[in-house]
Amino acid sequence: MGAEGRAPFPSADAMMLAAGGGLCLTESRSPDAVSEAIRARAARFRPPGREDGDPFDPLCRHFLLRPEAGVAPVGGFRLQLFPDGPSAASGYSAGRYDLAPLAKITRPVAELGRFWLDMPGGGAADGMRLVLAGLTRLVRANRIALLFGCASFPGAEAASHAAALNWLRTRHTGPEGFAPRAWRPARATAAVPSAAGLPPLLRLHLGAGAWVGPDAVEDADLGTTHVFMALETARVPLARARALKALARLAAYKPT
């Protein structure tokens, strides 16, 4: 990692999907562009007039999704790359979860955060596909072994998501001893397990073989309830890996 704690991504990692209504996913590189990305996500994660920047922003790469050049963004996320699992202990998720189990990973890992998408109907599907294409290219280019982050539900009350959380615990909890535990877990609530209400990005990652930690966390600061989510890239099912690679090939590099 460099002097600023940033590991390099490929020099041309701003992308545009060849199909899908002209959507483009670009990296915010200049200070003004990064500020725009942070302001855009603040409108999604914070009350009106409140900022969302934090000490991790200078260490992350920031991406915005737009319907076309010059138009207001409709989605975005940030990504921090670490050279190995032990280094992830300095990231955002480490303040919510004990990431010591990731210390055994010797290859690069990446933390996905502050994902948001404001697109109605079928447009959201196009947006999600472009995000997956971009993430796939970044994962492959940087030989990322594990993509992880906090997968959020709206509202800082775990009980309101009890059915979905129980569904995750019974079907998608990661390997014991490897799935990080929360520092301050929310109390589990009895409910019939149901996949209804799962966040779209988490649902897509689960379909690719992702797993979650056993605990939920109530985040009063962001007004969310989240679980630790991880995708071991080497364990993505072969058919899904081929589909993701094909999707990534549709994304053409677009300098910004």
Q: Looking at per-residue confidence, does 153 or 122 come out higher?
A: 153
**Where do the domains of the chain lie?**
15-253
Place of tokens 């993701």: 244
- Inform me whether the pLDDT recorded for 103 exceeds 70: yes
The encoded tokens of residue 216 equal 């939920």
**Angle in degrees, 0-180, between the axes of helices 200-207 and 121-141, rounded to the nearest 10:** 50
Selected from 3.65.10.10, 2.70.98.40, 3.40.630.30, 3.30.70.260, the CATH number assigned to the domain covering 15-253 reads 3.40.630.30
Strand order through the sheet with 251-253: 211-219, 224-232, 146-154, 109-117, 75-82, 61-66, 24-28, 15-17, 251-253
pLDDT at residue 24 in the model = 84
Q: What is the pLDDT of residues 153-208, one digit of tens each?
A: 999 999 999 999 999 999 999 999 999 999 999 999 999 999 999 998 899 899 99
Q: What pLDDT score was predicted for residue 124?
A: 83
Q: How far apart are CA 156 and CA 221, in angstroms?
A: 9
